[in-house]
A and B are shown apart, each in its own frame.
Chain A
Amino acid sequence: MAKLTVNEELCKGCGLCVGACPKHILALSKSKLNKKGHSPVELQKPEDCIGCAFCATMCPDCVITVEK
């Protein structure tokens, strides 16, 4: 099973990872804001993550670490 870790404080909420996810299981948080005022990305269904790292590939801020 894949594990995805988001460094929420560094996330700028740009959503490039959201658009890249083939399983459509990433979304920007509707409830959280980080210290910079951005809505960080959240993994909606961790059990569906296949660890393809497409999200991390498109992330401009190296916010996402992917383990498999």
Chain B
Amino acid sequence: MIVFQKPKALTDAVLHYCPGCTHGIVHRLVAEAIDELGIQGRTVGVAPVGCSVMAYNYFACDMIEAAHGRAPAVATGVKRAMPENIVFTYQGDGDLASIGMCETVHAAARGENITIIFINNAIYGMTGGQMAPTTLPGQVTQTSPYGRDVATQGHPIRVCELLSQLDGPAYLERVTVNNVKNVRNAKKAILKAFKNQVEGKGFSLVEVVSSCPTNWGMTPQKALEWIDEKMLPYYPLGVYRDKEA
């Protein structure tokens, strides 16, 4: 009996991500959720600009590539045009929390019945490791070479906490994928975020604290440990909104 294999909602395309990048894990969890809910035929995904720009090649459902930060607006259009379809965006921190913050906040405020998978790895990966809105204080990046100085470069943004101030969202949870237990929890959260949409519950966002071994300058394994040591103290895991609970 097969106990683990690649989900059907992923295509056979080879992921372009760096070795040990956790984007691959999250892609798989999204695909597993789509498989388990049996919604591939009516799901439309919206890819961002950033490392996961080519997510449209990896998910076997219909896919749309959006302009940088605009995925929640594009997803709003898709969902309003086809309310019976399941619409999700997959966005990184630069896309969702910097250039696209306006679209994110307003989609949440409207309670759009969409699912957002938000990858927070505290850096711009695709462009080679620049400071992100979620880069930690003191963290060295290409554009914060002396460490992020909050006096001049501002403070990181905690997206779940920020959105939890709005009445619109139905479900907000922050998870991570740095060990087996956390991956399983992340899976539950992502599945719930899709199930919420199927059940018409409204805006669901899962923030996945992720690693970027290449731009953090660490081995993949060390990067997972760094999540525990540095990321999670600033970005506590947990449910920030659950209208069911």
Direct contact of A and B (CB under 8 A): yes
Question: Is residue B221 contacting chain A, with contact meaning CB distance below 8 A?
Answer: yes
Which residues of B, 2-56, contact A by the 8 Å Cβ criterion? 2-7, 10, 14-15, 17-25, 28
Q: Given A54-B180, A58-B180, A60-B25, are A65 and B220 neighbors across the interface (CB < 8 Å)? A: no
Q: Give the docked Cα–Cα distance between A18 and B224 (Å).
A: 13
CB <8 Å contact, B19 and A65: no
- Chain B residue at minimal CB-CB distance from A9: B14
The verdict on B183 contacting chain A, using a C-beta distance below 8 Å, is yes
Partner of B3, one of A12, A19, A53: A53
List the B residue with the shortest CB-CB distance to A65: B5
* B219 beta carbon closer than 8 Å to chain A: yes
User: Residue B1 at the A interface, CB < 8 A?
Assistant: yes
The contact of A20 among B2, B6, B10, B180, by CB within 8 Å, is: B180
Q: Which residues of B contact A66 (CB under 8 A)?
A: 2-5
Partner of A19, one of B15, B18, B213, B224: B224
Interface string of A29-40 (1 = CB under 8 A from B): 000000000100
User: Please, how many angstroms separate the alpha-carbon atoms of A40 and B197 in the complex?
Assistant: 39
Chain B proximity of A53: nearest CB distance (Å): 4
Which residues of A are found within 8 Å of B4, using beta-carbon distances? 53, 56-57, 64-66
What's the Cα separation between A57 and B41 when bound, in Å? Answer: 25
Q: Does B230 contact A (CB under 8 A)?
A: no
Interface string of A1-45 (1 = CB under 8 A from B): 010000000101111101110000000000000000010000000
Q: Are A12 and B2 in contact (CB under 8 A)?
A: no
Taken together as a complex, chains A and B put the C-alpha atoms of A13 and B213 apart, in Å, by 13
B184 at the interface (CB under 8 A from A): yes
> Which residues of A are at the interface with B, using a C-beta cutoff of 8 A?
2, 10, 12-16, 18-20, 38, 51, 53-54, 56-62, 64-68
Closest 3 CB pairs of A and B: A60-B24, A14-B20, A12-B19
